[in-house]
Amino acid sequence: MTAAEAVAGVGVLSLGLYALLGGADFGGGVWDLLARGPRAARQRALIDEAIAPVWEANHVWLILVVVLLFAGFPPAFAAISTALHVPLTLVLLGVVLRGAAWVFRRYGEAGPARDRWGRVFAVASTITPVFLGVALGAVTSGAVRLGEDGAPVGGFFAPWLRPFPFAVGAFVLALFAYLAAVYLAVEAADEPALADDFRRRALAAGLASGGLAWLTVLTAGPGTGRFAEGLLGSAWSWPLQLAVAALAVAALVALWRRRFRLARALAVGQVAGVVLGWGLAMHPHVVPPDLTIASAAAPPATQRGLLVALGAGGAAVFPALYWLLRVFKSGPARGGSSTA
Amino acid sequence: MTEALLARLQMALSLGFHIVFAAVGVAMPLLMVIAEVRWLRSGDPLDRELARAWAKGTAVLFAVGAVSGTVLSFELGLLFPGFMAETGALIGLPFALEGAAFFLEAIFLGVYLYGWDRVRPAVHALAGAGVAASGAASAVLVTFANAWMQRPVGHALDAEGRLVAVDPAAVFTNAYAAHEIVHLLGAVYMATALAVAGVHAVSLLRAPDDRFHRRAFGLALALAVPATLAQPLIGHWAGQQVARYQPAKLAAAEGQFATERGAGLKLGGIPDYEARETRWALEVPGALSFLATSSFDGEVQGLEDFPRDEWPSPLVHYAWQVMVGIGSALAALAAFAAVHLVRRREWPRSRWFLKAVVAAGPLAFVALEAGWVVTEVGRQPWIAYGLLRTEETVTPMPGLVVPCVTFTLVYVGLAAATVVVLRSIFRTKAPAAAAAGPEPSP
């Protein structure tokens, strides 16, 4: 394994952690938008408490992916940023509005303004993952290619304004909502009725994400050929696919039987498997079909420097992150005193 | 308005917006933790109230700073993909480390804001110290990246004239970085502490003996005054480094057209790029040569030494005057306060001083922004000084007016909403020990 491949691997790992942590934050916003029934207010409060201490940290994984791209594979970053300018701008607007709205809602004066910020937070949380998925789908389907003049082949809309990227977007949204509901069921362990609300939502989102996964297969065009080969035709494909499917089914069963902590562990395994499978299927491409790990890589000195930086950073960050999650997530969300 | 100019404008707005919130995110945790440590040692509940009140404001400002920072990491690529493609391998390392520093900051802040009752008091204070330290580290690391843009190092040019990364670690030993880092940190602590002091000064104008606000005011000034006094000295060092590494930038800042010995320092003035002279300036003879070269007879390069298409905009001169003017006035105010403290053992209490501090906060941030205009607009036409021109690296996407206007509106809206939310936090907070009574010492 070359240094560049190691950096690419860390990038996939980072993307996976983003899905498992930041993705659940987005999913929380989706359930805020869809909160209903006699416990709607309680649902929103639980989501708010769950997100509060961790959302800033959770979203740093995305920044890490961006940094690894532009430092480790600069031409790939340039190609993606050029061709997917529009969906990425929409992602940014969503990220900005979501974070700001959340903090304004929490710390602002009670009243109609608070409800409005809540709406902004919830809507932004729903739209952003869709366009993250769109960008991911566009890259995966080999639609991101720069011509000789540096402009994207097909223009600035064709690479992503297609069924497959949006199917991926919908799938990503459902997956994030699923994760969030599973986590929230654990957080609500003290209140069985509330936990059951999220149990129902998790089951629905889990089944929906399964269906949407099939939709991505159906909408996959010829550009996805190489990716599909990787996903389905490699030596590791069937064991991994089976494992992910088994984890998915087991998670749903655990949910059904109200074994929420087990369901959380299984869902985490399932999503990790999905991201791993994606990464393996993309290999050796960074931006198919033109840019591979080797062809897009920064010089070895930079790759080695990145690994050192990642090692040093990781040695500091992982223990701290573990500590954060232990302080706040080792049990049901208590009403815990906070600054607000 | 060209697409390149729109891209620059959008980037400038995003950076200008982010820097205010990032500055507060770096400096306020220091104030917060000082207050909390005082409480742990003295048991005075007033200090705990202070830490908690400041933490609330920090939470809001930090969040807006964090999301605007996310925008920047993407925007580098969205607006200047050519720059990222050619230099990503050279400036990536500081960004990677900055990501780790910011990650730590976010983690510690999560514990600090939401874990008051979940961790032991000493651990809580340590978390606060962690926020302050990693925030400062973050600022240092990201400035290494800017220093590289001002003075590229560790690179070579291949046969086609494209940049090749030879020594990516050289970004950390760049001689240009030291003054930039120190000057930025000085500005960040100075502006934030002055703004915090100003906020409490507003309350003191209404209730001069309020113990809570007196304590807060004193603590903020204790950070603001040394920083404000140090900044002009640091700035002088920075000016000498700019004279050495980017003489065109200094020439534009000073409105200096002719290369000459014994160059005078111009105060004010309107540079006329057609006539190649700066009119209506007050000139202090020999002072520019002295400041730039430590000799009254030293040679200072003028704009005429450089190709016309490499002359930075006259905007640099105005920004320079604004920054130095405000910085000098605030240093004078700080000197007055310091002398008063030494002689009377307390900060000045007069209404005019309180009003001056109220004004000082926003003015310090204006100086901060002006300083960034000097260094960034002064770096033009280069995006990597002497190597890459900004206009060569802009995205080919047309219609940049759309995202530019969109983000401008979003930022204006966010700024307004931030002010509203901060005011409501400040209004509804009822400090427990807001009893009347003279405060014995700062």
Band the pLDDT of B434: cuts 50, 70, 90. Answer: very low
User: Cβ of B442 under 8 Å from any chain A Cβ?
Assistant: no
H or E element at residue B270: strand B270-272
pLDDT given for residue A150 in this prediction: 86
Judged against a pLDDT cut of 60, whether residue B432 lies above it is answered with no
pLDDT given for residue A220 in this prediction: 86
Judged against a pLDDT cut of 50, whether residue A178 lies above it is answered with yes
Residues of A in contact with B64 (CB under 8 A): 99-100, 103
pLDDT tens digit sequence for B97-116:
999 999 999 999 999 999 99
Give the one of A97, A113, A317 whose C-beta lies nearest to B100's C-beta.
A317
Per-residue pLDDT averaged across B246-261, rounded? Answer: 93
Per-residue CA distances from B424 to A139, A307, B208 (Å): 45, 46, 21
Per-residue pLDDT averaged across A40-46, rounded? Answer: 94
Distance CA A338, CA B55 (A): 10
Q: Which of B231, B235, B234 is nearest to B223 (CA)?
A: B231
Band the pLDDT of A296: cuts 50, 70, 90. Answer: very high
Band the pLDDT of B78: cuts 50, 70, 90. Answer: very high
pLDDT given for residue A331 in this prediction: 62
Quick one: tokens of A105? 């809602």
H or E element at residue A287: strand A285-287
pLDDT given for residue A333 in this prediction: 54
- Please answer yes or no on whether A71 and B96 come within 8 Å at the CB atom: yes
Burial class (CB in 10 A: 0-12, 13-18, 19+), B298: middle
Judged against a pLDDT cut of 60, whether residue B441 lies above it is answered with no
* pTM: predicted TM-score of the whole model, two decimal places: 0.91
Q: Which of B119, B161, B124 is nearest to B35 (CA)?
A: B124
Per-residue pLDDT averaged across A8-27, rounded? Answer: 95
Could you tell me which residues come within 8 angstroms of residue B317 by beta carbon, excluding any fewer than 6 positions away?
Answer: B252, B253, B254, B255, B269, B271, B278
Judged against a pLDDT cut of 80, whether residue B324 lies above it is answered with yes
Burial class (CB in 10 A: 0-12, 13-18, 19+), B336: middle
Interface ipTM:
0.90
pLDDT tens digit sequence for B233-244:
999 999 999 999
Residues of B in contact with A56 (CB under 8 A): 62-63, 66, 106, 109-110
Please name the amino acid found at residue B281.
A
Q: Nearest C-alpha of chain B: how many angstroms from A336?
A: 7
Q: For residue B381, say if its preceding peptide bond is cis, omega within 30 degrees of 0.
A: yes
Q: Residues 404..433 of B with a Cβ closer than 8 Å to A: which? A: 406-407, 410, 414, 417-418, 420-421, 424-425, 428
pLDDT tens digit sequence for A316-335:
999 999 999 899 887 665 54
pLDDT given for residue B101 in this prediction: 94
pLDDT given for residue A225 in this prediction: 81
Interface test with A, best of B13, B75, B107 (most A CBs within 10 A): B107
Distance CA A118, CA A35 (A): 12
Interface test with A, best of B112, B114, B167, B404 (most A CBs within 10 A): B114
Distance CA A187, CA A180 (A): 10
pLDDT tens digit sequence for A188-211:
989 999 999 999 999 999 999 999
- Please answer yes or no on whether B77 and A309 come within 8 Å at the CB atom: no
Q: Residues 133..152 of A with a Cβ closer than 8 Å to B: which? A: 149-151
- State the average pLDDT for chain B: 92
Residues of A in contact with B425 (CB under 8 A): 107
Per-residue pLDDT averaged across A89-110, rounded? Answer: 92
Q: Which residue has the tokens 């933490």?
A: B55
Q: How far apart are the first and last CA of chain B?
A: 53
Band the pLDDT of A306: cuts 50, 70, 90. Answer: very high
Judged against a pLDDT cut of 90, whether residue A238 lies above it is answered with no
Band the pLDDT of A99: cuts 50, 70, 90. Answer: very high
pLDDT tens digit sequence for B387-400:
999 999 999 999 99
Residues of A in contact with B110 (CB under 8 A): 52-54, 56-57, 324, 328
Burial class (CB in 10 A: 0-12, 13-18, 19+), A272: middle
